[in-house]
């Protein structure tokens, strides 16, 4: 089963959760920014309106006072010919006051503020009319009437205008204070909502993270269970393969014993009978030649049976061990395929477990079969090296070698020979390495763990194994 998709699901779940968390915090930030921006804009608008209103009211008051000064100067001026000039100045002052009052906008622009603005405008117009009437009087009477006019008419009208102006300013300040209080309340409300939003975002983030983590954990559990199931299936297949190999080995051992004990003995008996018949019959030369041919065929059959028995399961493997069995096998391999062979052993004084000896023997046997079929080699070297708790087996040749595609021993499309070697190495919990290049030969190396405490060979077995190995190397040479 392809585990790429299940493995990608926790990653997608984590990315989705992270994206949702980022989205929640982004919305919270946007809400916070919009609320604070709105409050800042409203505060700036109120402050600007208040400052502008106070400035315009100050201009109105200044122009009213300036108009009063013009009237006073006109009444006190002994030169009565300048009345027109004072009237023009008076008109200019009230024009500026009217223009300022026209641009005046109250802070709240409420009904009360509009009514106050209207009253102030009427009072300014009335004051303007009064001052015009004062200046329009007979200029010859100004020096005598100036004090009475200033006190009775101008002063009273001016005080009324100034009082309304101050009331308007007071009303503006009151409205400004109210707006500042409202802004403070809005800031407090905004702060509370921001904290609420932050709390909601935090809770949502924790919830999303919890859900994403829970989902990822469940997916990981499913992937872990799937892997455990696949590992169990692999172990079951390996056990089944090991049982099949054991069954095959038992069957080979049984067939080998039957060939050696039954067929071999029968052929040997026939050979003996033929020899006795030839010796005691006293037949002629022609009949004697026929018996010789029969004996030769029987001897060939006996040799064939022995070879088949040895190939199926060499008895020497059970009796003398792995080194002697490989030496005997290499002797026959060199004779059959005309390939010079060498067997090197190091640290092999102790016998291995029987099943390990059989597995290593079959691995070397299959590797030599591949050399004979595909390598086109003239020299083949087999090395057995035991170091502490590891047995290293190397089979190398000087043949045509392998290309890069065939070197990948883990590929499923491999020959049955290499597949069998891989199965046996996996059963021994070992490692397999296949190296080589075109024209430079091939090297097969396996390393398998060896259990300590195996039984040592006795002196006779060791001497026999060494003798057989030496014979194999001599014959191969």
- Any idea where the domains of the chain sit in the sequence? 4-215, 315-476
Q: How far is CA 256 from CA 117, 265, 324, 438, in A?
A: 128, 13, 18, 38
Retrieve residue 182's tokens: 């409202």
Q: Nearest to residue 400, comparing CAs of 374, 367, 368, 364? A: 374
C-alpha 170: how far from chain center: 68
Average pLDDT over residues 344-359: 88
Instruction: Rank 66-75, 118-127, 169-178 by mean pLDDT and report only the highest.
Output: 118-127
SS3 content of the chain, % helix, strand, coil (to 5): 80, 10, 15
Min mean pLDDT across 147-151, 153-157, 328-332 is at 147-151
Confidence at 282, pLDDT banded by 50, 70, 90: low
Per-residue pLDDT, 343: 93
Residue 469 has φ and ψ, to the nearest 5°, of -60, -45
Residue 93 contacts residue 66 (beta carbons within 8 Å): yes
d(CA 429, CA 446): 10
Retrieve residue 448's tokens: 């398998």
**Strand, coil or helix: 380:** strand
Per-residue pLDDT, 448: 94
d(CA 113, CA 38): 25
DSSP designation for 456: B
> pLDDT digit string (tens) for 283-303?
555 555 677 777 778 787 877
Higher pLDDT pick, 290 / 118: 118
Q: Nearest to residue 351, comparing CAs of 377, 322, 373? A: 322
Per-residue pLDDT, 150: 56
pLDDT above 90 for 392 = yes
To the nearest whole number, what is the mean pLDDT of the chain?
Answer: 76
Per-residue pLDDT, 78: 64
Residue 335 contacts residue 475 (beta carbons within 8 Å): yes
What do you get for the CA distance between the two ends of the chain, in Å? 52
d(CA 453, CA 352): 9
Higher pLDDT pick, 385 / 178: 385
In total, the chain counts a number of residues equal to 477
Phi-psi region of 321 (alpha: psi -120 to 50; beta: other; left: phi over 0): left
pLDDT above 60 for 459 = no
pLDDT above 80 for 442 = yes
Task: Calculate what percentage of the chain has a pLDDT beyond 90.
Answer: 9
User: pTM above 0.75?
Assistant: no
Return the ∠ at Cα 258 (arms to 456 and 326), rounded to 5°.
Answer: 40
Task: Calculate what percentage of the chain has a pLDDT beyond 70.
Answer: 79
State the maximum Cα–Cα separation within the chain, in Å, rounded to a whole number. Answer: 197
d(CA 339, CA 399): 11
C-alpha 157: how far from chain center: 86
Residue 302 contacts residue 265 (beta carbons within 8 Å): no
Q: Nearest to residue 345, comparing CAs of 320, 382, 314, 379? A: 382
Per-residue pLDDT, 145: 53
Higher pLDDT pick, 121 / 476: 121
Return the ∠ at Cα 392 (arms to 389 and 393), rounded to 5°.
Answer: 145
Per-residue pLDDT, 160: 75
Per-residue pLDDT, 424: 85
Q: How far is CA 199 from CA 19, 22, 35, 429, in A?
A: 18, 15, 17, 57
Q: In the sheet that 442-449 helps form, which strands lie side by side, from edge to edge?
A: 340-346, 379-387, 390-397, 442-449, 431-436
Min mean pLDDT across 24-28, 216-220, 444-448 is at 24-28
Retrieve residue 128's tokens: 């303007």
pLDDT above 70 for 414 = no
Confidence at 410, pLDDT banded by 50, 70, 90: very low
Q: How far is CA 79 from CA 84, 133, 362, 470, in A?
A: 11, 19, 144, 156
Q: Which CATH class is domain 315-476?
A: alpha beta
Per-residue pLDDT, 379: 92
Contacts of 250 (CB under 8 A, 6+ apart): none
The Cβ of residue 40 has, within 10 Å, a number of other Cβ atoms equal to: 12
Contacts of 104 (CB under 8 A, 6+ apart): 53, 56, 57, 60, 117
Residue 321 contacts residue 461 (beta carbons within 8 Å): yes
Residue 21 contacts residue 209 (beta carbons within 8 Å): yes
Per-residue pLDDT, 169: 75
> pLDDT digit string (tens) for 304-350?
777 777 667 677 888 888 888 899 889 888 988 889 999 999 988 88
Average pLDDT over residues 205-230: 82
Confidence at 364, pLDDT banded by 50, 70, 90: very high
CATH architecture group of domain 4-215: Up-down Bundle (1.20)
d(CA 58, CA 56): 5
Higher pLDDT pick, 297 / 197: 297
Residue 347 contacts residue 353 (beta carbons within 8 Å): no
d(CA 195, CA 214): 28
d(CA 419, CA 413): 9
Per-residue pLDDT, 151: 55
pLDDT above 50 for 407 = no
Average pLDDT over residues 54-59: 83
Higher pLDDT pick, 351 / 314: 351
Min mean pLDDT across 59-73, 369-383, 417-431 is at 59-73
Residue 243 contacts residue 425 (beta carbons within 8 Å): no
Residue 274 contacts residue 294 (beta carbons within 8 Å): yes
The H or E element containing residue 420 is: helix 416-427
Higher pLDDT pick, 257 / 345: 345
């Amino acid at each position: 089963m392809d585990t790429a998709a299940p493995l990608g699901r926790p990653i997608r779940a984590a990315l989705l959760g992270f994206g949702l968390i980022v989205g929640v915090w982004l919305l919270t930030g946007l809400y916070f920014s919009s609320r604070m921006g709105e409050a800042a804009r409203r505060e700036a608008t109120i402050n600007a309106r208040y400052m502008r209103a106070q400035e315009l009211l100050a201009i109105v008051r200044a122009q009213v006072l300036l108009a009063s000064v013009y009237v006073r100067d006109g009444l006190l001026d002994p030169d009565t010919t300048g009345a027109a000039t004072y009237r023009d100045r008076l008109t200019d002052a009230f024009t500026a006051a009217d223009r300022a009052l026209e641009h005046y906008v109250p802070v709240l622009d409420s009904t009360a503020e509009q009514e106050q603005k209207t009253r102030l405008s009427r009072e300014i117009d009335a004051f303007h009319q009064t001052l015009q009437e004062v200046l329009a009087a007979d200029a010859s009477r100004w020096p005598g009437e100036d004090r009475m006019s200033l006190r009775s008419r101008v002063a009273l009208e001016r005080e009324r205008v100034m009082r309304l102006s101050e009331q308007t300013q007071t009303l503006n300040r009151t409205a400004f204070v109210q707006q500042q209080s409202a802004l403070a309340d809005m800031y407090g409300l905004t702060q509370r909502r921001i904290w609420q939003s932050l709390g909601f975002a935090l809770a949502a983030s924790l919830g999303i993270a919890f859900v994403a983590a829970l989902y990822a954990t469940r997916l990981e559990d499913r992937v872990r269970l799937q892997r455990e199931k696949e590992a169990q299936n692999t172990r079951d297949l390996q056990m089944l393969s090991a049982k099949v190999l054991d069954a095959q080995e038992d069957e080979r051992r049984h067939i080998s014993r039957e060939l050696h004990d039954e067929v071999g003995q029968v052929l040997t008996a026939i050979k003996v009978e033929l020899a006795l018949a030839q010796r005691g019959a006293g037949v002629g030369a022609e009949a004697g030649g026929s018996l010789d041919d029969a004996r030769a065929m029987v001897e060939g059959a006996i040799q064939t049976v022995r070879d088949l028995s040895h190939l199926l399961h060499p008895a020497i493997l059970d009796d003398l061990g792995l080194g002697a069995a490989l030496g005997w096998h290499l002797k026959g391999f060199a004779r059959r395929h005309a390939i010079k062979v060498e067997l090197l052993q190091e640290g092999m004084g102790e016998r291995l477990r029987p099943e390990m000896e059989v597995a290593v023997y079959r691995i070397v046997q299959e590797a030599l079969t591949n050399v004979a079929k595909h390598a086109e080699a003239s020299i083949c070297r087999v090395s057995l090296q035991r170091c502490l708790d590891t047995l290293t087996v190397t089979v190398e040749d000087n043949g045509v070698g392998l290309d890069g595609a065939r070197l990948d021993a883990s590929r499923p499309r491999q020959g049955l020979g290499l597949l069998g070697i891989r199965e046996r190495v996996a059963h021994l919990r070992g490692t397999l390495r296949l190296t080589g290049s075109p024209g430079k030969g091939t090297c097969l190396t396996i390393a398998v763990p060896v259990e300590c405490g195996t039984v040592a060979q006795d002196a006779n077995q060791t001497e026999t194994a060494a003798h057989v190995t030496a014979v194999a190397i001599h014959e191969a040479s």
